[in-house]
């Protein structure tokens, strides 16, 4: 009986599409799902190279050795449950591949426990949504480097391709893959919020219609701002509502949800003493959009009157502001990965990570080609903004970011990420950020000492004389 090449456990939308992607690429795929009826439905669709199993023992037994099993179930307890089930049937040298959005520290824990049993464990970030899973996602595998060679042919074959290269590369040991996916999602939140703020500015200050804004985003998508998120935004703004024939976007409740990966990113950044203010602002924007008191405050607070503007000029200011805001968001995300790479001893290759983000994933964008090339010239950079080409980008667009922020504040349009962007740049640029006064206050009430600008060492001053 011919053995299957690889197995997939968890045949929900993402798991099913990954299984079919593998099958469509010619691999013999075994499928298993907690509820067999799902497996049966997929079997009944008569996909070549896919075979479903009702018993997990038969599923594992059907796999060529070493067994390679992709687990695609909800993050958290379900992953632990599936791993416990599998451990009863796997033997030394087999491989478990968690391709869900697991928290990277859970992956590190599972990796250590399962590898202590002689079984390899990979935490693999997969980005691109259900369509990406079927047609080609961006894949971020983390785990044992030698064992990666056993799963590389499968993952790199089903990954999205960019200029003939797979958008999949070995990321690093243990939790590195899921960490990078987490930061990918943090950047995703910031970019989505920046686009939402651009939409708000164009709508509330530029008074553009949804159709006109769709044209604007479509224009932007043929510039350096080309990206999956800009592309889908143009499509979203054109979409009509079947029930009312109004624009669908106007029929959607103005409250954003989140599954949590963006939140993990800012919690990790705080733990790393790292500033990801744009990602943080994006997470907070989603939280604030759900505040029940918004209705009261919208009637209670003074309504600003804003300033008359020339829409054509303003449209260009918004484009340049978004261009810079996006650059800063990606820079903060990549710097966070740089810090984590040192902290967890992962040796992350940020240039390679930028290269696999160029296609397949949600944050795929022209900008990643630019970022990848910066790392080609300077492999180890704590913050790619120090690169000359990036400094030019900042200086070319910073005035538009200031003007856009000023007009937004006068008009009362909330732009938490764009305002964080100009504040962050001014924090980086300013000779004095007020930290000297913070140190004086801390020393005044807590004798926490401060350093002087003219002599070495820490001093305490007797303030109460
Ligand atoms: C991806 C996406 C995906 C994400 C969902 C929900 O890379 O394909 O980031 O993994 O989890 O789109 O995201 P939120 O609920 O956190 O917005």
C-beta of residue 363 within 8 angstroms of C-beta of residue 187: yes
Distance 335 CA to ligand 1 centre (A): 21
Tally of CB atoms within 10 A around 97: 25
Which of 181, 263, 315, 326 is labelled catalytic?
Answer: 181
C-beta of residue 117 within 8 angstroms of C-beta of residue 172: no
- To the query of whether residue 188 is one of the catalytic residues in this protein, the response is yes
pTM for the model stands at 0.96
What integer pLDDT is reported at residue 377 of this predicted model?
A: 87
What integer pLDDT is reported at residue 308 of this predicted model?
A: 87
What integer pLDDT is reported at residue 380 of this predicted model?
A: 81
Give the integer Cα–Cα distance in Å for 279 and 263: 9
CATH of domain 181-429: 1.10.1040.10
C-beta of residue 22 within 8 angstroms of C-beta of residue 29: yes
- pLDDT-based confidence at 282, cuts 50/70/90? very high
Whether 434-465 and 6-174 are alike in CATH topology: the answer is: no
- To the query of whether residue 181 is one of the catalytic residues in this protein, the response is yes
Residue from 129, 191, 193 whose mutation best tests the ligand 1 pocket (most atoms within 8 A of CB): 129
Where do the structural domains in the chain lie, given as residue ranges? 6-174, 181-429, 434-465
Tell me if the domain spanning 434-465 has CATH number 3.40.109.10. Answer: no
Average pLDDT over residues 158-174: 97
Distance 262 CA to ligand 1 centre (A): 9
Which of 51, 68, 162, 188 is labelled catalytic?
Answer: 188
Question: From the alpha carbon of 262, which atom of ligand 1 is closest?
Answer: 16
pLDDT digits (tens, 9 = 90+) for 7-36: 999 999 999 999 999 999 999 999 999 999
Instruction: Report, at the CATH architecture level, how domain 6-174 is classified.
Output: 3-Layer(aba) Sandwich (3.40)
- Ligand 1 contact via 161 beta carbon (within 6 Å): no
pLDDT digits (tens, 9 = 90+) for 335-380: 999 999 999 999 999 999 999 999 999 999 999 999 999 999 887 8
């Amino acid at each position: 009986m011919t053995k299957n090449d690889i197995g997939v456990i968890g045949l929900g939308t993402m798991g099913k599409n990954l299984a079919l992607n593998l099958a469509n690429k010619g691999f013999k795929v075994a499928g298993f799902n907690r509820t067999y009826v799902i497996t049966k439905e997929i079997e009944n669709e008569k996909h070549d190279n896919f075979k479903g199993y009702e018993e997990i023992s038969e599923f594992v037994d059907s796999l060529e050795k070493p067994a390679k099993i992709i687990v695609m179930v909800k993050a958290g307890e379900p992953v632990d449950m599936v791993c416990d089930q599998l451990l009863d049937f796997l033997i030394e040298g087999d491989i478990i591949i968690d391709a869900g959005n697991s928290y990277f520290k859970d992956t590190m824990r599972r990796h250590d426990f399962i590898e202590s049993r002689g079984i390899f464990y990979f935490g693999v970030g997969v980005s691109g949504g259900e369509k990406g899973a079927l047609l080609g996602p961006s894949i971020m595998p983390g785990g044992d480097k030698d064992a990666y060679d056993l799963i590389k042919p499968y993952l790199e074959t089903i990954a999205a391709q960019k200029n003939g290269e797979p958008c999949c590369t070995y990321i690093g040991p243990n939790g590195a893959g899921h960490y990078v996916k987490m930061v990918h999602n943090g950047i995703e939140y910031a970019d989505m919020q920046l686009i939402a703020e651009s939409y708000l500015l164009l709508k509330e200050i530029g008074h553009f219609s949804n159709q006109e804004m769709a044209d604007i985003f479509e224009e932007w998508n043929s510039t350096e701002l080309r990206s999956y998120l800009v592309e889908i935004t143009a499509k979203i703004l054109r979409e009509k509502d079947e029930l009312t024939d109004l624009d669908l976007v106007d029929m959607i409740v103005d409250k954003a949800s989140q599954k949590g990966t963006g939140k993990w990113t800012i919690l990790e950044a705080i733990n790393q003493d790292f500033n990801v203010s744009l990602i943080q602002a994006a997470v907070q924007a989603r939280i604030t959009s759900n505040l029940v008191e918004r209705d009261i405050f919208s009637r209670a607070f003074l309504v600003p009157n804003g300033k008359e503007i020339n829409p054509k000029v303003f449209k260009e200011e918004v484009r340049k502001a978004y261009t810079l805001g996006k650059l800063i968001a990606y820079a903060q995300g990549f710097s966070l990965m740089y810090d984590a790479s040192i902290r967890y001893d992962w040796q992350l290759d940020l240039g390679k990570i930028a290269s696999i983000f160029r296609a397949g994933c949600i944050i795929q964008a022209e900008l990643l080609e630019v970022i990848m090339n910066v790392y080609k010239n300077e492999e180890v950079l704590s913050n790619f903004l120090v690169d000359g080409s990036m400094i030019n980008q900042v200086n070319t667009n910073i005035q538009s970011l200031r003007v856009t922020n000023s007009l937004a504040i006068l008009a009362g349009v909330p732009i938490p990420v764009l305002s964080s962007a100009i504040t962050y740049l001014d924090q980086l640029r300013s000779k004095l950020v007020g930290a000297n006064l913070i140190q004086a206050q801390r020393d005044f009430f807590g004798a926490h000492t401060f350093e002087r600008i003219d002599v070495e060492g820490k001093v305490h001053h007797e303030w109460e004389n």
